[in-house]
Structure 1
Amino acid sequence: MTNAERSAAAEPILELRDLGVTFTTETGEVPAVRGVTLQVRPGETLALVGESGSGKSTVALASIGLLPGNARATGGASVDGEDVVGATESDLARLRGSTVSMVFQEPATALDPLTRVGAQIAEVITNHRDVPAKEAAAAAVDLLRRVGIPDPERRASAFPFELSGGQRQRVVIAMAIANDPKVLIADEPTTALDVTVQAEILDLLRDLTVGSGTAVLLVTHNMGVVADFADRVAVMLKGEIVETGTVEDVLLRPTHDYTKRLLAAVPRLTVAEQGSERAGVQESPAPPEPVVDLRDVSVLFGRGSRAVRALDGVSLVVRPGETVGLVGESGSGKSTAARVALGLITPSEGAVHLFGADLHKTRRRDRRAMRSGIGVVLQDPVASLDARMTVAECIAEPLRVHRGRMSARERASRVGEILERVRLPRSFAQRAPRELSGGQRQRVSLARALVLDPRLLVADEPTSALDVSVQETVLEVITELQDELGFACLFVSHDLAVVQQFAERVVVMRLGRIEEQGSTRTTLMHPETDYTSRLLAAVPVADPVRQRQRRAQRLAAAAGGSDAVA
């Protein structure tokens, strides 16, 4: 009997029966989840997918009894035969961390910044098992070793801020598996990670759960991750399950129209057929003068022997009307390069030319005028929009700073106009950011970035936190406005499929240097360096059959094989 057959024959370890969740708000009761019935068996991974607001994270929180105080759950939810809905807090505390554990999306908020990581793992152990502190500390070091943290004895004494994003997520996973739980709930565990670290984390979770009998409920909007990791899929829409099935059936043979639309919105990474050749360089007319021009730029943080070289001899240009994708792993220097282009970081060496002028040789008054020609969209619209302001006030702020002579009526008219350009109704102007969805908030951020008709838009991971259909809408809006307004765009991202779809040229960065650059199609379909090839190999695709082949080839290449990844 295969693992899949054994899992199918086993009794469910996590079971939801007609689960409903209602939130009590100032305007009344709002149903978030309705009639959800799901089962996850030992050794099985069930992926819960859907757009933001579909209810998938609420289902995950209800499964572990972590709903907020204004939420009311009905129906049934049980873990290893023990009821969760209606359970006392002491019963839930006993279940959490021992029978069921959770891996959250953002490890920075899941970890205590003031406590060493070894002590945090040891605390999870001693909360559920009567073991001496010394034994728990040794177990914490062993767990760090199991999750692939280098030099675990030393890292156990580190604080979370001293670790990379991928290492922090490994610490969170170590805490989640510390007591050998029967159920692991993973809520967007790889969303904030670059593609190579994402692949490592998925490999780690697979190694830790396959053969152990651990059931996994995976909440994600990344269909490539679903194809790579899940056995079955449940699709949610407006709080209800609209389709379930094996990963092959749902991703390759969807039956519900919503599932089909969701999959159609997934950006597809196109790679070259094996044996095909890189096209020759075609002659093109003389390009226009760059909007931004980085010339042999280096950036050092710190001094003396402790100095870190974040950028090393970086040269790149972005011309009017074009989009340049800046890609690479976390720590590659891509966000630092974007901040240099914005004038937020002064290079240690080299020059930055903005709109034809040397930014750091320009008078302060003129430099402010130059910066009014730049719009910025950041990854997290919640953090970048002031919660105390209305949408209109957020968008109008650049107008007040740089267009002081505009009347209140002119500002209001301009705000309404730019809202319509980003496909939002003018009535949204009086709403608060918290009243909008993630995609709507990101379009408000885009409206604010473009309200001054900038010549350059710098977008730093603007879609990584969005589900695929909302991501598609945001990218369509940027493309439409770029065609209309002609601004240049520096697009920083770790999603190579999005970059391939959206950018004309791509710059691949590694350890503060440019690894290679060129047209997006040529560079990503026919990479010249092993590093770019490894980045492409780590991108999961939304086809479970093809993804299994890619994963096997990637692991073989990492072990010393030479097969190319198709």
Structure 2
Amino acid sequence: MTAHRKDTARPAEPILALDDLGVVFTTESAQVPAVRGVSLEVRPGETLALVGESGSGKSTVALAAMGLLPGNARVTGRAAVAGTDIVGADEAGLSRLRGRTVSMVFQEPATALDPLTRIGKQITEVIRNHHDVSAREAAARAVDLLRRVGIPEPERRAAAYPFQLSGGQRQRVVIAMAIANDPALLIADEPTTALDVTVQAEILDLLRRLAAETGTGVLLVTHNMGVVADFADRVAVMYQGRLVESGTVEDVLLRPTHDYTRRLLAAVPRLEVALPDDGAAANALTKPVPGTRTTEPPREKGRTPAAQEGTPVLALDDVSVVFGRGRRAVRALDGVSFLVRPGETLGLVGESGSGKSTAARVALGLITPNAGTVSLFGTDLAHSRARARRRLRAGIGVVLQDPVASLDARMTVGECVAEPLRVHRRELSARDRRGLVEDVLERVRLPRALARRAPGELSGGQRQRVSLARALVLEPRLLVADEPTSALDVSVQESVLEVITELQDELGFACLFVSHDLAVVQHFARRVAVLRGGRIEEQGPTGETLLHPETDYTRRLLAAAPVPDPVVQRARRTERLAALAAGRTEGGA
């Protein structure tokens, strides 16, 4: 039992109760069962984590509990929230329930926010839909919510549009909307997917405090086992639409009984940390991602391995990027310099808003820097002609953070993947293009038949793999990957990283790998650069930089990264909170 759960002589009535829940989707060709006989409960103040691979049915369970399943879904069994039956309820009754009694944090903030409405107004609408308060009171409440979820300058951000915020900031806005009316049940579908480790830790602290103070029950849908270890009281494991194992977080993560659960946990990348007093304890937490390179031995920081000497595939030299003018100007990058050499992977890590994605877009030529130079394959982009830049960009593959935004919903999967071929390989026949598309789909562990389906018919993990296939279809010299595994469960993440590694060894392309998952970066990238506020805090060989960081900022990043052991993670959380409290005390002294 965790510290925030209260002991009572008689257990409280469940805030969420599912009894033999079944969901079948009707498609043009078949009846597809997505959920089969699921029964579970969430009680006030309790967090139940629902875990499983992409397509296991966990998100369908969450949508069923909200009454948000599409019209082609047939639901059987019972789903009740706060004693109100969801199955068979009319839309008016569900509307009164949603946003007040039960709220949901969706997986993809880009689809949950209105791009044409200011952030503050979207939050005030949620508040005023359920409470008779003035616009001014609701606006003040919206600013306070933005402050609670850790968004800097909340008054200014309330006046911003979603596109003006980073991916992590948009996710925090979605969480602010979900908790706006202090719901009895919060359904969180991958709530920390787009967040860096420090903000993720803050959000989990916030949700933990909400559960403790208000008795809110939480159904947490996630593939992040570190988050499960840090936040959940109980765990339910789903496989092919069924519950295969459930129990306390300690029992399921430390003593799993089902073979599927064991395989799922075996695929989790473990962050290697340096513990001065007990090296054995550190080793017990580590496990390289299968198929990826192990961390490099310590080298002098800033030096490039001899095997990688030569003309850099990508070079940023003293690059600065400023958005806006005057008092509204934001310096996204400030004197950033780094190299990526042939066959090498450089990991870019840092908090949301640190400049990671901006640096990636500068590398792609999508943003022209205000100062400094960008060289691609030895050519200065600023001094090359349009036709030459087009040829250079044909050598780059791109995997963006949000697969929904990067895939055209009007196209089939095959058409999405073939688009770079139509642009840069016009000499290919339709038959040749089709063959290359089917081959690359298989390389990313997707069946060829998927080429005929629409992106909207796929799970989040499948869409991300389609994005990867699209990036690799031209066999690029440089792969720019912006959070390429953020939407993937651990087993799919493992296979995708294996694919990238195999193809990198085969084709020799370089990789600029932007991620907030320090464990993946540690085992996948040869070198790492840590960004903070648009500046590079430190950079060097991954093994040395992450095991023996030179700056307090990097040490705080590592301390905030959760590990998938609930006992160890509880101790790490206690140490982190103590360090934060000590820092605040010193700052106020």
TM-score > 0.5 by shorter chain: yes
Query: What does 1:463-542 correspond to in 2, within 5 Å?
Result: 463-542=485-564
Task: State the AA in 1 paired with 2:59.
Answer: S
Please say if residues 461 and 487 of structure 2, whose CA atoms lie closer than 8 Å, have aligned partners that are also in contact.
Answer: no
SS state of the match for residue 391, structure 2? helix
AA in 2 matched with 1:342: L
Could you say if the C-alpha distance between residues 7 and 402 of structure 1 is closer, same or farther in structure 2, counting changes exceeding 3 Å? farther
Gaps of 5+ in 1: none
Between the aligned residues of both structures, percent identity stands at 77
Instruction: Compute the RMSD of aligned alpha carbons.
Output: 2.9
Match of 1:221 in 2: 223
Q: Does 2:332 align with 1:330?
A: no
Tell me the equivalent position of 1:235: 237
Q: Which moved more, 1:170-179 or 1:89-98?
A: 170-179
Q: What secondary structure sits across from 1:560 in the alignment?
A: helix
**8 Å CA contact retained: 1:323, 1:503:** yes
Equivalence for 1:356: 378
Whole-Å separation in 1 of the counterparts to 2:58 and 2:318: 47
Does the aligned pair in 2 maintain the 1:7–1:44 contact within 8 Å?
Answer: no
Could you give the per-residue CA deviations for residues 251-287 of structure 1, whole angstroms, max 9, x where no partner exists? 1111111111111111111011226999563995362
1:181 to 167, 180, 183: 183
User: What is aligned with 1:551?
Assistant: 573
Aligned to 1:457: 479
Q: Which amino acid aligns with 1:347?
A: P
- Shifted more, 139-148 versus 14-23: the winner is 139-148
User: 1:316 and 1:155, CA in 2 relative to 1: closer, same or farther beyond 3 A?
Assistant: closer
Q: Report the Cα distance in structure 2 between the residues aligned to 1:44 and 1:363, rounded to whole angstroms.
A: 60
Query: Is the alpha carbon distance of 1:77 and 1:446 closer, same or farther for their aligned partners in structure 2, counting shifts above 3 Å?
Result: closer
Residue aligning to 2:306: 285
Q: Is the 8 A contact 1:7 1:42 kept in 2?
A: no
One-letter amino acid matched to 2:251: D
Q: What amino acid does structure 2 have at the position aligned with 1:362?
A: S
Superposition TM-score, scaled by structure 2 size: 0.87
For 2:109 and 2:461, locate their aligned partners in 1 and report how far apart those are by CA, in whole Å: 23
What CA distance in whole angstroms lies between the structure 1 residues aligned with 2:14 and 2:229? 22
Q: Residues of 2 paired with 1:283 and 1:132: CA distance?
A: 60
The answer to whether residue 289 in structure 2 is matched with residue 299 in structure 1 is no
Structure 1 residues 306 and 140 mapped into 2: Cα distance closer, same or farther (>3 Å)?
A: closer
Query: Is the 2:19–2:38 contact (alpha carbons within 8 Å) kept by the matching residues of 1?
Result: yes
Residue 492 of structure 1 deviates from its aligned partner by 0.9
Question: Aligned residue for 1:59?
Answer: 61
Code of the aligned partner of 1:300: V
Contact 1:24–1:70 (CA under 8 A) maintained in structure 2: yes
Q: What does residue 388 of structure 2 align with?
A: 366
Choose the corresponding residue for 1:396, options 418, 431, 440: 418
| Counterpart check, 1:347 vs 2:369 | yes
| Structure 1 residue 131, shift from structure 2 partner | 5.1
- Please tell me whether the aligned partners of residues 378 and 461 of structure 1 are also in contact (alpha carbons under 8 angstroms): yes
* Matched residue type, 1:234: A
What are the ranges of 5 or more consecutive residues in structure 2 without an aligned counterpart? Answer: 280-296, 585-589
Change (3 A) 1:171 1:284: closer
2:289 maps to what in 1? none
CA offsets per residue over residues 403-430 of structure 1, 9 Å max, x none? 3333444434433443443344444444
Counterpart of 2:76, as a letter, is T
What secondary structure, in the 3-state scheme, does the structure 2 residue paired with 1:559 have?
Answer: helix
Q: Residue 346 of structure 2 aligns to which amino acid in structure 1?
A: V
Structure 2 counterpart of 1:378, which letter?
L
SS state at 2:511 partner:
strand
- What SS does the aligned partner of 2:306 have? coil
Distance across 2 between alignment mates of 1:284 and 1:161:
39
Alignment equivalent of 1:202, drawn from 201, 204, 208: 204
Whole-angstrom distance in 2 between the partners of 1:350 and 1:269: 35
Change (3 A) 1:97 1:313: closer
Deviation at 1:313, TM superposition (A): 1.4
TM-score (normalised: structure 1): 0.91
Structure 1 residue 20 corresponds to structure 2 residue 22:
yes
Which of 81, 84, 87 is the matching residue for 1:85? 87
The aligned runs of 1:152-191 (5 Å cut-off) are 160=162, 165=167, 168-191=170-193
- SS state at 1:38 partner: strand
Q: Match of 1:506, SS?
A: strand
Q: Is the 8 A contact 1:299 1:310 kept in 2?
A: yes
